[in-house]
Every structure is written in structure tokens, then in C-alpha cells.
């Protein structure tokens, strides 16, 4: 099909499949309406409320000592968590792809547990293991360490699942070449494996960071809302209970902006990654593929 397109570029492009029965316009209308009612309208109400008492009020709510403290706390904890999971997530992904050990498929399945397990249950089981009834005698409940552990639990799959496919696809020729040239294991990792994993790792880390910023359920019981363990999402919950809706809305907007910045970073990384991939395809010196890829780009722009 591609060859055909390359031979006769002037041939009329075959009509893309229409949505069955309904026109694309109707489908588009349904999608836009659905997203507006479900997602955009509530967010508009949130923004409206946060600014309902003027910009000055918004600013005073956002810069109140507890708001600043809770935002700072969640930022620092998320950074620590993301760093820990970047290291351990990469190790786990490497084990799952390159190593063989009994029970590997079970480990591979259990990685997704935090995706499947309700966050409140995560909170409950963490407090049982690391709380005052801890069978191993470690009690970190209601401390800042608890925030870190809870966020580690929730965000681990993001990193593993982002790195794993890249490791599977990675060509081992380069590593073997480096080894035959006398490079040690660590050098091979640092100079060859790590640079190849970087786009996936960065995207996974950004996703994990965005998730950690807003995490609520798993932190609620385990770390609680004590004065020095109140993260932004918990503070928002407290403000709602106290009836300070505009304050809660203002902090929400700041938290939302930080998470959106993360999403933007992910999009940029993905675009960078796909460009990287395409340049490799172009290197394959295949005029048909190259032509098709360029044609697609033209359409998009």
C-alpha cells in the first residue's frame, strides 16, 4: 500500500473510515459535549470559585503559612519518592527483562498492584505494617517518612512500566560491542543502557511525579493530617470540611498548575522521543518509509 502511494502520489487519497452510522461531526459533538459536562464545567466552577473573592484573596490563601508549608512538603516528598523509584524501578525493570528467576511472572504481575488496589486500602495495609502495631517494630505512621513510603507504593508501576518496553526493544549489539572492547558492567550501564533508557525513564518519572503531587487516599490514614504531615491534597480536604471553599479552590488551582506542568513535560518528552525514533527510521535508507513518514508530517501540520 505504501509502495502504491509512493508510485502515484497524485492518486486520490482513499477516504478515511467514517464513524459508523453517524457523521464525524456528530461524533465530535458528542465527545466535546461529554468532556465539557464531565471535566471542563466542574473545573471552570473551581477556577471561578478560587477567584470569586478577588485576586488579593486568592493570593493570601495561596501564600498562607499552612498552604506554603503543605505545597513545599508535597513537592519535596514527591522529589524524594521519584528519585527512589527511578533507581529501584529501573532495577526492577532490568530484572524483569534481562534476568531469569523463579516467580518472575508473578513479580511482573504484582508490579501493577498499586494501579489496581484502592488507595484507601493501600493506606490501611501500610499502616498495619509500618504503624504502631507493626510486626517488625518500625512505627513511622503519622510522620513524614510515611508520606514517602505511601507515595513510593503508589508510583512504583509508573517507572517500571515506562522503562520495561525500552529495555525489551533495546538492541544488545551495542552492549556486546562495548563489552568486547573491555568496558565493565557499570561503564556499559552508564554509557549505553542509561542514555537509551532516558526518554522512557523521564516520562515515567514525570507521570509518577504528577501522581504523587495529588495523591490523597494512601496518605490520608497513614501519614494523616498532623501539623507537620499535612500535604497539599490533605489540606484541601481539611479546608473543605471547615467550609473554606474559596481557600480550598485556590490551593487546588496551584496544585493543578503544577500537575499540568508535569503533563506538559511528558508531552514534550514524548515528542522528542518520537522524533528520535523517526530519525532512526530515516537512517534505514528506505525511501518508501521515509516518504510515508514525511507525508504524514505534512498532513499533521
Site for another protein in 95-114 (CB under 8 A): 95, 99, 101, 105, 107-114
Q: How many residues does the chain have?
A: 301
Kindly identify the residues of this chain, within the stretch 107-166, that bind another protein according to CB under 8 A.
Answer: 107-122, 124-126, 128-129, 135, 149, 152-153, 156
Our CB check for another protein shows the closer of 117 and 285 to be 117
147/216 Cα distance (integer angstroms): 10
Our CB check for another protein shows the closer of 79 and 125 to be 125
263/36 Cα distance (integer angstroms): 20
Among 83, 263, 281, 288, binds another protein (CB under 8 A): 263
Which among 17-25, 57-65, 275-283, 284-292 is the span making contact with another protein, rule CB under 8 A? 17-25
For the chain, count helices (H), then strands (E): 16, 0
Our CB check for another protein shows the closer of 174 and 265 to be 265
Among 73, 147, 220, 269, binds another protein (CB under 8 A): 220
Q: By CB under 8 A, is residue 8 in contact with another protein?
A: no
Q: Which three cell numbers stand for residue 197?
A: 533508557
Q: By CB under 8 A, is residue 92 in contact with another protein?
A: yes
Cα 34 to the chain's mean position, in Å? 24
- φ/ψ bin of 224: left (φ > 0), alpha (ψ from -120 to 50), beta (otherwise): left
**In Å, how far are 2, 84, 264, 265 from 207, measured between CA atoms?**
36, 14, 10, 9
Q: By CB under 8 A, is residue 68 in contact with another protein?
A: no
Amino acid at each position: 500500500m505504501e509502495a502504491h502511494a509512493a508510485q502515484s502520489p497524485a492518486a486520490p487519497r482513499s477516504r478515511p473510515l467514517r464513524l459508523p452510522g453517524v457523521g464525524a461531526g456528530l461524533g465530535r459533538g458528542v465527545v466535546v459535549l461529554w468532556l465539557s459536562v464531565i471535566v471542563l464545567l466542574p473545573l471552570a466552577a473551581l477556577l471561578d470559585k478560587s477567584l470569586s473573592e478577588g485576586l488579593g484573596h486568592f493570593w493570601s490563601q495561596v501564600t498562607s503559612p499552612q498552604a506554603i508549608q503543605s505545597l513545599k512538603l508535597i513537592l519535596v516528598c514527591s522529589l524524594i519518592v521519584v528519585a527512589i523509584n527511578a533507581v529501584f524501578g529501573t532495577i526492577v525493570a532490568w530484572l524483569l527483562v534481562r534476568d531469569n528467576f523463579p516467580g518472575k511472572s508473578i513479580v511482573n504481575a504484582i508490579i501493577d498492584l498499586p494501579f489496581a488496589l484502592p488507595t484507601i486500602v493501600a493506606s490501611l495495609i501500610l499502616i498495619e505494617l509500618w504503624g504502631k502495631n507493626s510486626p517488625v517494630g518500625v512505627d513511622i505512621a503519622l510522620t513524614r517518612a510515611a508520606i514517602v513510603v505511601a507515595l513510593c507504593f503508589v508510583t512504583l508501576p509508573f517507572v517500571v512500566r515506562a522503562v520495561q518496553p525500552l529495555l525489551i526493544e533495546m538492541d544488545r549489539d551495542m552492549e556486546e560491542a562495548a563489552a568486547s572492547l573491555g568496558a565493565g558492567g557499570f561503564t556499559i550501564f552508564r554509557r549505553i543502557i542509561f542514555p537509551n533508557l532516558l526518554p522512557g525513564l523521564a516520562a515515567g518519572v514525570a507521570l509518577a511525579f504528577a501522581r504523587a503531587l495529588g495523591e490523597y487516599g494512601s496518605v490520608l490514614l497513614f501519614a494523616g493530617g498532623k501539623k507537620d504531615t499535612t500535604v497539599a491534597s490533605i489540606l484541601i480536604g481539611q479546608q473543605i470540611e471547615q467550609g473554606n471553599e474559596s481557600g480550598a479552590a485556590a490551593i487546588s488551582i496551584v496544585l493543578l498548575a503544577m500537575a499540568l506542568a508535569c503533563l506538559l513535560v511528558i508531552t514534550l518528552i514524548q515528542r522528542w522521543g518520537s522524533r528520535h525514533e523517526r530519525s532512526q527510521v530515516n537512517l534505514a535508507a528506505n525511501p518508501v518509509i521515509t516518504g510515508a513518514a514525511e507525508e504524514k508530517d505534512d498532513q499533521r501540520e
